[in-house]
Amino acid sequence: MSFCGVVSIAGRPNVGKSTLLNCLIGQKLSITAHKPQTTRHSILGIQTKDDTQVIYVDTPGIHVTGTRKLNQVLNRTASSSLHDVDLAILLVQSMVWNDDDQRAFDLVSNTGLPFLIAVNKIDTIKHKEELLPYLTRIPQHEMLKEVFLISARKNKGVDALVSAVQGYIPEAPWRYDEDELTDRSSKFLAAEAVREQLTRLLSAELPYALSVDIETFEVAPDLLRIGAVIWVEKNSQKRIVIGKGGAQLKEVGTRARVTLETLFDKKVFLQLWVRVKEGWADDERALRSLGYDNT
């Protein structure tokens, strides 16, 4: 007898969905940064233990503001991840409940799915009694089964959440081999590793105006050669990404290479180029060519 099911991790931007996925799987699959909308694609993380396989789906943050095509695509991707799943986890941040949280709650509760709420980042609260009034403000719903207090970053309270998830996984054959951790390709993971460092190193707004595309991915016995193009919308952004004397781009490459060597357990030779594609974040065709809007 085997059990297999799909669990969607939903919530507004920057509540720690990707950190939770990485914690659940025990390996870094989804990129993280202290900036909203870092995640742009649905990413599967596969957890196989004993007779049960749980397929977790990390999604872009559900948000109210943002009128560009890219924002619309991210919301559409997040919404579609709630179709054909067995359970949803609505992730919220302790002591915060704003319009985006409410929109995420409405979206999840209107699906008819059973769902759990995980209140994340409880490690940041000095006085735990402050949580009680916050918890009473969380809306009630007949499909909301339990509320958990967790810290995904410090792996606190996550075991209890995982145990609860097991109760919603139906009897079914596994969809993936026991040693598989994700359905995403190595090229996709490489592009995300580069974009993660760009998001962490660049000024607040610029990461939302760029995307990364892998042009070459060559595997040799002792070396992995990767060539990545960083797409921006303006020449002025290209200059910022490259930096004075190429220093910024070099730092991005150095940090990304370290991540990639850990991910692939192999020495990596990484080349980066910066090119301009004007208005790509508002162009449906450009978004599709860069791997967005596949829902």
User: Residue 294: what pLDDT?
Assistant: 47
CA 45/CA 25 separation, integer angstroms: 6
**Domains (ranges, CATH) in the chain?**
3-166 (3.40.50.300), 186-289 (3.30.300.20)
Lowest mean pLDDT among 49-53, 103-107, 281-285: 281-285
C-alpha angle with apex 71: 200 to 35, nearest 5 degrees?
20
Is the pLDDT at 107 greater than 70, yes or no?
A: yes
Q: Could you give the C-alpha distances from 101 to 65, 93, 136, 197, in angstroms and in order?
A: 12, 9, 15, 27
pTM of the complete model: 0.75
Q: Are 267 and 224 in contact (CB under 8 A)?
A: yes
**Cβ(198)–Cβ(212) below 8 Å:** yes
pLDDT at 63 over 70: no
What is the DSSP annotation of 135-180? HHTSPP-TTEEEEEE-BTTTTBSHHHHHHHHHTTPPB---SS-TT-
Give the strand pairing for 115-120 and 87-93. Answer: parallel
H or E stretch covering 24: helix 17-25
Calculated CA dihedral for residues 137, 140, 144, 148, nearest 10 degrees: 20
The strand order across the sheet containing 43-49 reads 43-49, 52-58, 3-10, 87-93, 115-120, 144-149
Quick: pLDDT tens for 151-191. Answer: 999 999 999 999 999 999 999 999 999 999 988 889 988 99
Question: Which SS3 state, helix, strand or coil, does residue 214 take?
Answer: strand
DSSP character for 32? Answer: -
pLDDT tier, 295 (very low <50, low <70, confident <90, very high otherwise): very low
